[in-house]
């Protein structure tokens, strides 16, 4: 009996141990103290503007801004607000990576592959602070031209191509340049031998031009193209006709059969919205109109309509507002909560003016392929002062094309007026979202350029014709005007020629008497240089007419 009791006790002990083990394991599984797993990292591949690839790892929960900052740091780029990252969705449509959202919520499946591109094309590239920023803008524009997104005439293609060759290869040297020295370049969608010959002809005339200067001339010509910085979207009008909607810095453009048929400047647009696959713009009434009008367009699907709406919101905020709108509160929010979260152009210009670092060194993309590449000056801001060169011949392209200005405006001051535009979307249930209209300051400028020159015979001049003797830039500021004077002295055929270009930016809160200001500027110019004559006066006015004045 004792032995049987011992066995029964032993069996009971084993059962108790099993129950205890099950209980403890059950408690462990129910315990809130779980093992914390490290966030998984994802490999990102980014195609850069020069065609090279940049690979990095980011945490899976990272927002888009983390990856974008890594890319800009790799590129040594400070003026980064003009750029962005794009990715392709399941329908192979290009989307901009939202820096404020997690990457994994934007790319639902597939590899994390991106492209680094220009998102906001600056209307005046000369106002960019660093050469490296202008270089990346040039790379984007070259890709736009070759892909056909930026149409150009034959003459413009040749001119832009010649500046590209000068930037990457330096001066034309007959001893080093063979007949096919530019054969690896592509300047157009349909590359021809005739185009190559014209590029070579123009390239020979750029002797003495640094890479930074060549890129500046490239941008000064490219910015004048009608499709510069236009983001196109397929759509149909109210009659079902195929059109293209273009979004750019100035507003919304309508194209049919590659011809622009309408334009809605941002000041004329009161509201933009979308519902399902429809996109709507509400237009301010004209001078002889009493009521607002709403124009609708049909896009391929709901995602395309929302994509166009977001691009419009971003472009209007970046180019027209001084500060981005505050994000909407999460409580009882209807429709899309999207807002542009980056800096505006006004903010990035102020930040660029505070950049205090030596101009970064960088290599142009072709400099790695061509040994004849010269003067990779990625370190110098654009200037007429040609440091480090004993001689620099001034070659004119006036016989071939219109002359190019060598005087570029400063960051312009502003007078303040107001405009308003509201963004809205409609939820699937049909509830309309209204966002209160907000008045915002707008930048306006008055710019006057006066050019006058003097030629006098210098009997002692024994230098080569066309040699730049000196070039200087003088800048003075007052409370109402900013004057920049460029003085260039050259010797051509024994004749010493002095050319002075003055750029006067007049600003103020009150209305400016343009005629009086112009007359005063000419008078002061003649008094300062009585032995010289005024040869050209250019008046450039940037302003915005308020609605009550009959806005156009």
383-393, pLDDT tens digit by residue?
Answer: 333 333 333 33
pLDDT for the residue 128? 95
CA dihedral over 172, 175, 177, 180, signed as positive or negative: positive
Which residues, including other chains, have CB under 8 Å from residue 549's CB and lie 6 or more apart?
none
Contact 382, 409 (CB under 8 A): no
**What's the rounded Cα separation, in Å, for the pair 446 and 176?**
48
pLDDT at position 291: 83
pLDDT of residue 181: 86
Question: Phi/psi at 270 (nearest 5 deg)?
Answer: -90, -35
Query: Which residue in 201, 183, 202 sits closest to 193, CA to CA?
Result: 183
pLDDT at 374: 33
SS (HEC) of 400-414: CCCCCCCCCCCCCCC
The H-assigned helical ranges of 176-295 are: 193-204, 211-222
d(CA 61, CA 41): 8
Give me the residues of the chain with pLDDT under 50, please: 1-2, 5-7, 9, 11, 27-28, 332, 367-420, 422, 425-479, 544-552
Question: 3-state SS string over 303-328?
Answer: HHHHHHHHHHHHHHHHHHCCCCCCCC
Helix (H, G, I), strand (E, B) or coil at 529: coil
**How many CA within 13 A on the CB side of residue 356?**
1
What's the rounded Cα separation, in Å, for the pair 280 and 142?
A: 33
Q: pTM surpassing 0.85?
A: no
Residue 38 has a pLDDT of 61
Residue 155 sits at φ, ψ, to 5 deg, of -65, -40
pLDDT at position 543, please? 54
Tens of pLDDT, residues 307-356: 999 999 999 999 998 887 766 666 545 556 667 778 999 999 999 889 88
Q: What is the dihedral of CA 161, 167, 173, 179, to 10 degrees?
A: -30
Please name which of 62, 63, 116 lies closest in space to residue 86, comparing C-alpha atoms: 116
Q: Report how far residue 314's alpha carbon sits from residue 310's, in angstroms, rounded to the nearest whole number.
A: 6
């Amino acid at each position: 009996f004792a032995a049987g009791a011992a066995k029964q006790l032993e069996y009971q002990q084993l059962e108790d141990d099993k129950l205890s083990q099950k209980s403890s394991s059950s408690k462990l599984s129910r315990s809130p103290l779980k093992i914390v797993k490290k966030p998984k990292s994802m490999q990102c591949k980014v195609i850069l503007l020069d065609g090279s690839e940049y690979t990095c790892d980011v945490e899976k929960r990272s927002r888009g801004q983390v990856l974008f900052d890594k890319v800009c740091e790799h590129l040594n780029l400070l003026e980064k607000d003009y750029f962005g990252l794009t990715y392709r969705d399941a329908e192979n449509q290009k989307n901009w990576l939202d820096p404020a959202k997690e990457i994994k919520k934007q790319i639902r499946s597939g590899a994390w592959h991106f492209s680094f591109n220009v998102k906001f094309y600056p209307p005046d590239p000369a106002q960019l602070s660093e050469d490296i920023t202008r270089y990346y803008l040039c790379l984007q524009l070259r890709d736009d031209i070759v892909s056909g997104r930026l149409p150009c005439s034959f003459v413009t293609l040749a001119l832009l191509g010649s500046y590209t060759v000068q930037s990457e290869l330096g001066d034309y040297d007959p001893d080093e340049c063979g007949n096919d020295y530019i054969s690896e370049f592509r300047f157009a969608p349909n590359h021809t031998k005739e185009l190559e010959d014209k590029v070579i002809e123009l390239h020979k005339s750029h002797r003495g031009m640094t890479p930074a200067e060549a890129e500046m001339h490239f941008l000064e010509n490219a910015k004048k193209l009608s499709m510069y910085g236009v983001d196109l979207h397929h759509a149909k009008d109210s009659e079902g006709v195929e059109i293209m909607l273009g979004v750019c810095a100035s507003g919304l453009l309508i194209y049919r059969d590659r011809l622009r048929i309408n334009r809605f400047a941002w000041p004329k647009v009161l509201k933009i919205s979308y519902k399902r696959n429809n996109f709507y713009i509400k237009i301010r009434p004209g001078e002889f109109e009493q009521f607002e009008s709403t124009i609708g367009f049909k896009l391929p699907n709901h995602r395309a309509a929302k994509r166009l709406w977001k691009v419009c919101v971003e472009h209007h905020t970046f180019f027209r507002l001084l500060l981005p709108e505050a994000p909407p509160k999460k409580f009882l929010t209807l429709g899309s909560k999207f807002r542009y979260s980056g800096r505006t152009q006004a903010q990035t210009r102020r930040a660029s003016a505070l950049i205090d670092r030596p101009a970064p060194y960088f290599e142009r993309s072709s400099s790695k392929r061509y040994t004849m590449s010269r003067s990779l000056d990625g370190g110098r801001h654009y200037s007429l002062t040609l440091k480090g060169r004993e001689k620099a011949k001034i070659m004119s392209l006036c016989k071939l094309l219109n002359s190019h200005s060598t005087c570029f405006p400063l960051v312009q001051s502003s007078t303040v007026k107001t405009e308003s535009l509201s963004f809205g979307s409609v939820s699937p249930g049909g509830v309309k979202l209204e966002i209160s209209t907000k008045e915002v300051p707008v930048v306006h400028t008055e710019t006057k350029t006066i050019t006058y020159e003097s030629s006098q015979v210098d009997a002692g001049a024994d230098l080569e014709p066309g040699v730049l003797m000196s070039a200087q830039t003088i800048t003075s500021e007052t409370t109402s005007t900013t004057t920049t004077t460029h003085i260039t002295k050259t010797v051509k055929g024994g004749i010493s020629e002095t050319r002075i270009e003055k750029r006067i930016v007049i600003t103020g809160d009150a209305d400016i008497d343009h005629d009086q200001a112009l007359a005063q500027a000419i008078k002061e110019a003649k008094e300062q240089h009585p032995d010289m004559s005024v040869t050209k006066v250019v008046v450039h006015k940037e302003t915005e007419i308020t609605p009550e004045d009959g806005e156009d």
